[in-house]
Structure 1
Amino acid sequence: MTTELATIIDFIRYGASRFSAAGLTFGHSYDNALDEATHLLLQTLHLPHDLSPAYGQARLTTAEKSAVLALIEKRVKDRLPVAYLTGKAWFAGLEFISDQRALVPRSPIAEMILGGFSPWLDDREVIRALDLCTGSGCIGVAMASHNPDWMVDLADISDDALGLARDNIAYQNVEDRVRAVASDLFAGLAGQRYELIVSNPPYVTEDEFDALPAEYAHEPKLGLTAGSDGLDIALRILLQAPEFLSDDGVLIVEVGESERALVELLPALPFNWVEFAVGQMGVFVIDRSDLVEHRDAILAAQRA
């Protein structure tokens, strides 16, 4: 009986058990039931995400119990990602506002941001950077927050996503160095040049989208799908990026499970696939010069 639950630890354990028993899918910021339950509880109680274990035996009030239990049951019943339930998500060590205007913040690129994009930027100076297909703005805002001397543009085609990105720009107090721009990829950025362009564009195939768990149905499809092979957007980025990169500029793009299809389509392109703490995760780094050299092959692949 839930009346037996009293402490923070009790409710985290209960939430994790309910989530696991219900067969929920995890992949929106957290990959397991225990971490999701912890996030839900701490956010609901307005406690820091790194709360000391010493508070684990603290008891919830009656009102707090009701609020936590209601969200646990909503997570189970409606399959809403926990970030949408709490309105907050963590990315690259920062807290972001999260709602259904854009995908829940998540990308292995967070590890690159925290690592200073080493070794890719070790010998390069970045003055201006672009977060293309920004969604919630998490990548671009995190880049600006961790690199106080960078000017960062956030670009997206979705007005809803841009509204959320602007909320996160203000939430992280980087309005003086970050702006959100309405743009269908590069169409609204004429004349701009960047030393670094980073993008986590849509890359889910239509077949993959149809098979996704219920949690993903709450996210905007515009931010997920990219044609039959998941590469419609990535190929456009590869083709257009050189015009917006400085001469020694770098492009970083996440294509996830579409990595194999991209390599098969452009076998001669010298993609540098990034190894993360948990292995390779479909993120490549490529220099502008290589994009220019292989432009004809990229154009042919896009037309195929």
Structure 2
Amino acid sequence: MTKRSKPVATRGRAVSKSPRVAAGELLTLLDFVRYAVSRFAEAELVFAHGTTDPVAEAAFLVCETLHLHPERFETFATARVTAAEGNKLLDVIERRVTTRKPAAYLVNKIYMRGLPFYVDERTIVPRSFIGELLDSHFGGDGAETGSLIDDPLSVENLLDLCTGSGCLAILASRNFPNAGIDAVDLSKDALEVAARNVGDYGLEARVTLHQGDLFGPIGGKRYDLIIANPPYVDAEGMAGLPRECRAEPKLAFDGGADGLDIVRRILDQAGQHLMPRGGLLCEIGRGRARLEAAYPRLPLLWLDTEDSDGEAFWIAAGDL
């Protein structure tokens, strides 16, 4: 449930009105998951918000509605639910089908790297690959593929652009325990959600939120590391967004005609805000070919994750 996923649609026929479920027909958590999977397939739902298939999404909704961590599903799979709990489960399953809202909005929660975060319609549902990359490429001696920063403890200033709900800034605070973090977003609404998450993790003294356009709010300040998950959906992609994604703020998706409007601005300005030994980690989705064509001389290092190939890049300050 913590991984970012590409939109996946189930196959089925046109949505039909849900048949009434008689009391007592569904008894266990597993029964409700099976029922939800059938409803999701019938409704041809799309899964693009942290879960990759209808089974994972159904288990997530069932567990969150019953206040169980999704990783505990197998422990309680055959446990019976009460009548009141059953009614709540049927309600949330039906709302997922009829509203087509992301499941995270229905339960106001998403998990990234195993940590829970609050989300609602004021911000995009976080599912960035950067969370995984912080662990795999910036963990010092423990990094899976070697760290792109020699000593994570030496990072004292970090900037998170387009922070949204603040999840990446909070995750980065774990990887770089000595860093003060500035987190910037254009959306006042998104920053209200970020403030709640920062407060939930007690990071008010380390994470400072700024409203504004990219580097605008931070003046001439320089950083040891900049991370960015900007809007990068191109015009064609915007026109074809599934209904679930259209429930999220358009501002968080729209990257212009070719998806690179914001990415270009970040690349063009990042060098002015990096320390000499710093670097930029940026996610751009499927725009690699277009970005390489636009910046043929930049030595961009493309990074893979468990669920992505070259959808994020690293570039050192000296190469900008």
TM-score (norm. length: structure 1): 0.92
Could you tell me which residue of structure 1 aligns to residue 52 of structure 2? 31
Residue in 2 that maps onto 1:67: 88
What do residues 192-249 of structure 1 show as CA deviations (whole Å, max 9, x unaligned)? 2210000000000122111111001110010100110000000000011111111111
- Indicate if the aligned counterparts of 1:8 and 1:55 stay in contact, CA closer than 8 A: yes
CA drift of 1:123 comes to 4.6
Matches within 5 A, 1:1-304: 1=21, 3=23, 4-51=25-72, 53-115=74-136, 117=138, 118-123=146-151, 125-291=154-320
| Partner AA of 1:248 in structure 2 | R
Tell me the C-alpha RMSD between the 2 structures. 1.4
Give the Å deviation of 1:107: 1.1
- 1:21 Cα deviation from its structure 2 partner: 2.3
**Amino acid across the alignment from 1:73:** E
More displaced 10-residue stretch of structure 1: 38-47 or 114-123: 114-123
CA contact (8 A) 1:92 1:113 kept: no
Report runs of 4+ in structure 1 exceeding 3 Å deviation: none
What CA distance in whole angstroms lies between the structure 1 residues aligned with 2:136 and 2:257? 34
Read off the aligned partner of 1:35 and give its amino acid letter.
A
Q: CA deviation at 1:14?
A: 1.4
Question: What is the DSSP-based 3-state SS (H/G/I as helix, E as strand, rest coil) of the residue aligned with 1:188?
Answer: helix
CA-to-aligned-CA distance 1:247-300 (integer Å, 9 cap, x gap): 111101101011211111112211000022234141000011111xxxxxxxxx
State the 1:116 CA deviation.
5.3
3-state DSSP class of the match of 1:20?
helix
Task: Provide the rounded CA distance (Å) in 2 between the counterparts of 1:145 and 1:288.
Answer: 23
Task: Tell me the residue number matched to 1:300.
Answer: none
Which residue is equivalent to 1:298?
none
Contact 1:80 1:215 in 2 (8 A): yes
Give the aligned residue type for 2:34: R
Q: Structure 2 stretches of 5 or more lacking a match?
A: 1-20, 139-145
Of 172-181 and 70-79, more deviation after overlay is shown by 172-181
Q: How much has 1:115 moved relative to structure 2?
A: 2.6
| AA in 2 matched with 1:54 | T
Deviation of residue 171 (structure 1)?
Answer: 1.4
Q: Give the percent of matched residue pairs that are identical in Structure 1 and Structure 2.
A: 41
For residues 307 and 92 of structure 2, what CA distance do their matches in structure 1 show? 31
Q: Secondary structure at the match of 1:141?
A: helix
Distance in 2 (CA, whole Å) between partners of 1:13 and 1:81 is 19
Q: Report how far residue 104 of structure 1 moved.
A: 0.2
SS of the residue 1:257 aligns to = coil
TM-score, normalization by structure 2: 0.87
State the shift of 1:150 in Å: 2.0
Consecutive unaligned residues in structure 1, runs of 5 or more? 292-304
Letter in 1 for 2:102: P
Q: CA deviation at 1:2?
A: 5.1
Residue 282 of structure 2 aligns to a residue in which SS? strand
CA distance, structure 2, for counterparts of residue 100 and residue 66 of structure 1: 24
Alpha-carbon distance in structure 2 between the residues aligned to 1:141 and 1:262 = 28
Aligned residues: 291
| Contact 1:200 1:254 (8 Å CA) reproduced | yes
